Every structure is written in C-alpha cells, then in structure tokens.
Amino acid sequence: MKRIKIAFWAVLLLLTALWLAADTLAPEPFSYFSFRTVFMQYSGVIGIGVMSLAMLLALRPKWPERYLDGLDKMYRLHKWLGITALAVAIIHWWWAQGTKWMVGWGWLTRPVRRRAGGEPPGGFEGWLLGQRELAESVGEWAFYAAVALIVLALVKRFPYHWFVKTHKLLALAYLALAYHSAVLAKAEYWTQPVGWLLAALLLGGSVAAVLTLTGRIGAGRKTRGTIDELTYFPALRVLETSVVLEEGWRGHAAGQFAFVTSDRNESAHPYTIASAWNPDDRRIVFITKALGDHTGRLRERLKVGMAVTVEGPYGCFDFNDAQPRQIWVGAGIGITPFVARLKHLAAAPEAREIDLFHPTGEFDEEAIGRLTADARAAGVRLHLLVSPQDGRLNGERIRAAVPEWQSASIWFCGPPGFGQALREDFLAHGLSPARFHQELFQMR
C-alpha cells in the first residue's frame, strides 16, 4: 500500500506544481470571479489528469507492476484516482453551474466583460475559441454520465457482470471530457510543461479509452485453453477447474492470478492460480468459491471440453524475499495461492522454514486431505483451524505457534478486514511493514 500511496500523492503534487508554474490561485485583482476563473482551470487539470491515469491503469499494463507491487495494488490506485476524479469533477461542476445559479438568484453580480480589441485569433487558438460552447455542453452531460457510472462502480451490491458492462461506458464519457478539457484549457498552457503533460495524458487516456471500447484490454497476454477436469467440493461450495492451455502462455509464478473468460457475453473474471507451471504439461488450475452472482453459477455453466480464454499472469504475491522463515495465512478461499506455492516447493524444495495457517469455517475431508498431502510434500508445517471447534485465528495464536516469528515475513490472503487486523497486530509487536504481504484481491 505504501507504494501506491506515494504514487497517488506524487501525481497530485506533480500536476499541482506544474499548474502553479503556469498560473496562480491568487489572481490580481482578487475577486470571486477572478478566483473562479483560475480555480476552474486548476480543478479541470487535476480532474482530467487523474482520470487519464485511471484510464491507462484500466488497460492492465504489465510494466508498472513491479513498481506498484502488483496489479491488485494498481487496481486500488485506479479506484483512488477514480474517486478523486469524481470529487474534483463535482467541485469543478459546482463552481461552473453554481455560480450561474447564484447570478440568476441575484446573490452574485457578474462583472462586465470588456470587449477584446483587434482581430479575433486565428489558427488553432481560433478553432479552440469557436469550440467553447459545444465543449461546455458536452462536458456537462459527460460529467452527469461519469458521476452515475462511478457511483455504480462503488456500490458493492451492484452485480459484477452489470458493473463490468456499465464501467466500460466510462471510456465514452472520458473521450467527451477529454474533448471538453482540450478545448477549455487556457491556450497558453500548451506551450508550458503543464500543457505538455496534459497533452500526453489526454492522448494516452484517449488511446486507452478506444482500446477499452474495442475489447483490446490485455489482448497480447491472452491464451486459449480447454477445460479438461472439474472437481466440486460441496461442503465448501468450491469448484476446482483444470484448463489445458494452448501455445502462448508465458508461464506463471505461484501466487499470481489470471483473468478467465468462459462466456463471451460476460467479461473476464480474475482468479488466483492454484497450480505450479509445468511447460510440458501446460495445465493450469483455478479454485473458485460460490460467493457472488458469477461464481455461484460456475458449477452449472462450466463443462469439460469447454473453450476458455486465460489472460495473464498478473500480480507480485510471489513469496520472494530474503527472510529465513515465512508465515503464510490462507483464510478460507484465500488458501489458493498457497496451494500453488506448495506444489512448486514439492518440485523445487528450498531451505526455508514455513508455517501455513489455514483458518476456515467449513470442513471438507477430501479438500483438507489434499492440502495436508501438498504441505507434507513441500516440507511446510500446516496449522489447520476450523473455527466452530478451534476458535478464531489471531496474531497471538500465530506468535505462540511460531516463537521465531520475528525473523519471518508474513504472507496473507483472505478477507481484507482480517488481513488488516493481523497486520496492525504484528506491526504493534514490532514487525516491519515491509515484511507483511497482503494481496488486495478486489477488482472494484
């Protein structure tokens, strides 16, 4: 989280600094309307700037992962940028529309505009001037659409498959807002660093919007495959799906995830990979639990022999660090990345002490038997806690079971609230924040 927090504030500070180098929030003479003019420009630059970056992150670019600690963190940054764009856009809209309303209500008196002397500007500047009225109208309606779509994206009860379809429409709203911003930004900005950055962001964001609308996200990282085996664990409501991939998959590390498309009418869904990679076998395994509208229907919809598309791999939850000991916590379906790592260690052992804690509220003898066998083959100590009989797992129980915990790193996958509680507990006992690794497996 630290890296994406730094990236978030760095973006805001950079946009602000470059804008202040070209303009000011303290115009002379200072008045409500003179401040409104410059603040509209500032909020417009910030709003479209962060929205452009959010559009670029929506493409799931591979290269920033190692700097931002994985696609799961990048999606969290994408969400923060979207919320910031929403908040800034609302403020921007209020200063535009609210001022007009207050003038109409008689609360404010609009200053008399002086007619500019000389010939009207020509060329690019003249074209921009002629587009202002249309750009204002387009921007207003695009703003209303963007607000509605972003709010829907933030409502967790809104079904995922509808979220994916409606969220895609934000690309259209972005293109309209990009046009609005390009026309209404001060002409003199384009000859200064703030304009150069803004132009790059608008161009990049527009390309990202077009790729989104044409279904080209992750196009270069997709591989066709066929389902060859399905295993259902009724007590856990968990489905294990084995897929044989065609040529093109670049391999993956244990702990990474992929986007899988099994129905062209629905978009790709992210699943953690539950198998080590063997190029001779070309088989990849996913474990999914019926937790929502999509996963709840998978058991009925997936069939052996069905063609699927797998995109990836993504993520930096890869167990790579320099600590001599690791503590793994896979809560519920969060056990999935650890299953993949166990299979990897069984084939390629390493000299590291590892304790795996698996707290679960449900028990399936076959699934637990598989996990126990995988842990034994990998040389990992398994601590199974079935909450109805064993109680809940917490930091105190982990420290009691692993007295040498201070020399360990902790790798957590499971409910976000549980992970946050464990993190705060261990940090309060002196663990370095850099040694607590948590996958933020939430794509909205």
Residue 24 Cα to chain centre, angstroms: 34
pLDDT for 161 equals: 74
Task: Examine the domain organization and report whether 149 and 189 are in the same domain.
Answer: yes
Last residue in a domain, options 187, 213, 239 = 213
Would the CA dihedral through 362, 365, 366, 368 be positive or negative? positive
Task: Examine the domain organization and report whether 197 and 255 are in the same domain.
Answer: no
Q: Which of 232, 260, 257, 230 is nearest to 245 (CA)?
A: 260
Task: Examine the domain organization and report whether 287 and 349 are in the same domain.
Answer: no
Task: Examine the domain organization and report whether 205 and 268 are in the same domain.
Answer: no
Task: Examine the domain organization and report whether 153 and 275 are in the same domain.
Answer: no
Structure tokens at 146: 């963007």
- Alpha-carbon distances, residue 418 vs 313, 329, 330, 346, 440 (angstroms): 26, 10, 11, 29, 12
Instruction: Give the residue numbers spanning the domain of 150.
Output: 2-111+120-213
User: Is 264 domain-assigned?
Assistant: yes
User: Is 444 domain-assigned?
Assistant: no
CATH of the domain at 233: 2.40.30.10
Distance in angstroms (rounded) separating the CA atoms of residues 65 and 124: 39
| Beta-carbon count within 10 A of 45 CB | 27
pLDDT beneath 50, residues of the chain = none
pLDDT for 299 equals: 86
Task: Examine the domain organization and report whether 167 and 95 are in the same domain.
Answer: yes
Q: Which of 311, 310, 312, 290 is nearest to 301 (CA)?
A: 290
CATH of the domain at 332: 3.40.50.80
pLDDT for 231 equals: 93
Task: Examine the domain organization and report whether 294 and 259 are in the same domain.
Answer: yes
- Alpha-carbon distances, residue 392 vs 72, 387, 389, 427 (angstroms): 27, 5, 9, 20
Q: Domain count for the chain, please give it.
A: 3
Count the residues in the chain.
444
Task: Examine the domain organization and report whether 375 and 354 are in the same domain.
Answer: yes
Task: Examine the domain organization and report whether 276 and 377 are in the same domain.
Answer: no
Task: Examine the domain organization and report whether 61 and 147 are in the same domain.
Answer: yes
pLDDT of 100-132, one tens digit each? 999 999 998 888 766 555 566 666 667 777 788
CATH of the domain at 141: 1.20.120
Last residue in a domain, options 213, 237, 260 = 213
User: Is 320 domain-assigned?
Assistant: no
User: Is 283 domain-assigned?
Assistant: yes
Which amino acid is it at 236? Answer: L
CA angle 117, 118, 121 (to 5 degrees): 110
User: Is 443 domain-assigned?
Assistant: no
pTM of the model: 0.89
pLDDT of 216-247, one tens digit each? 999 889 999 999 999 999 888 899 999 999 99
pLDDT for 139 equals: 93
DSSP output for 139-155 = HHHHHHHHHHHHHHHH-
DSSP code, position 248:
T
pLDDT of 33-80, one tens digit each? 999 999 999 999 999 999 999 999 999 999 999 899 999 999 999 999
Distance in angstroms (rounded) separating the CA atoms of residues 124 and 129: 9
Last residue in a domain, options 259, 281, 314 = 314
Strands, E assignment, 173-306:
222-233, 238-245, 257-261, 269-272, 283-289
Q: Which of 197, 186, 88 is nearest to 129 (CA)?
A: 186
